[in-house]
Amino acid sequence: MNPARSSIECPQEASVVKAARTGQWDDVLEAHAAACPACGEAALVSNSLRAIALETEGHKPLPDPYLVWLKASLTERQAASQRASKPWDLAEALGHCIVAVVLAGWLLGEWPSIQQRLAEWMPLGRLQEWPPAWFMMSSAVSFPPSMVFWTIIGLICFVALMAAEPLFSED
């Protein structure tokens, strides 16, 4: 006998539990369950369990625990991999910035030579067809050093931001 239950046993208890489980009560059994403490307790517990079962009837079943563990393990490994690759991402972005700075410096140093070669390669007729190119390659027009400097600085910043974008993205 279970000490948590009432010490009174009733021969009608099985019938009361069955009626509470199925929801089919007759008047005599319902009156007995109201008068008998053991049967009343059994009916209350059965009704509560039946209500819980009806509540969870439409719910989706729980996923397989192995799949939950596998997904958690995979997520943990991906996070560890991302943490381990952060220094390499930083090194890659730094490499892009260094290449951008070296390229900008080379272009700045070689600009007169590049301008001269472009003028030699393009016939004069083509330059007159496209005024912006004529403006850029004309020896009469020169760019102020500050304009060239800030243009190159702007391009370096742009390239640096584009190279560092993977470091700032969360996905």
d(CA 165, CA 17): 67
166 neighbors 89 (Cβ within 8 angstroms): yes
Q: Is the pLDDT of residue 164 over 90?
A: no
d(CA 126, CA 145): 27
In this structure, of 32-36, 61-65, 87-91, 162-166, the range with the lowest mean pLDDT score is 162-166
At residue 135, what are phi and psi to the nearest 5 degrees? -65, -45
- What burial letters (b/e) apply to 144-170, b meaning 16+ CB within 10 Å? eeeeeeeebeeebeebbeebbeeeeee
Q: 0.95 cut: is pTM over it?
A: no
> Where in the chain are the domains?
13-55, 85-168
123: confidence class by pLDDT, cuts 50, 70, 90? low
127 neighbors 137 (Cβ within 8 angstroms): yes
d(CA 89, CA 103): 21
6: confidence class by pLDDT, cuts 50, 70, 90? very low
Look over the chain and give the mean of its residue pLDDT values, rounded to a whole number: 76
* Average pLDDT of span 137-159: 67
68: confidence class by pLDDT, cuts 50, 70, 90? very high
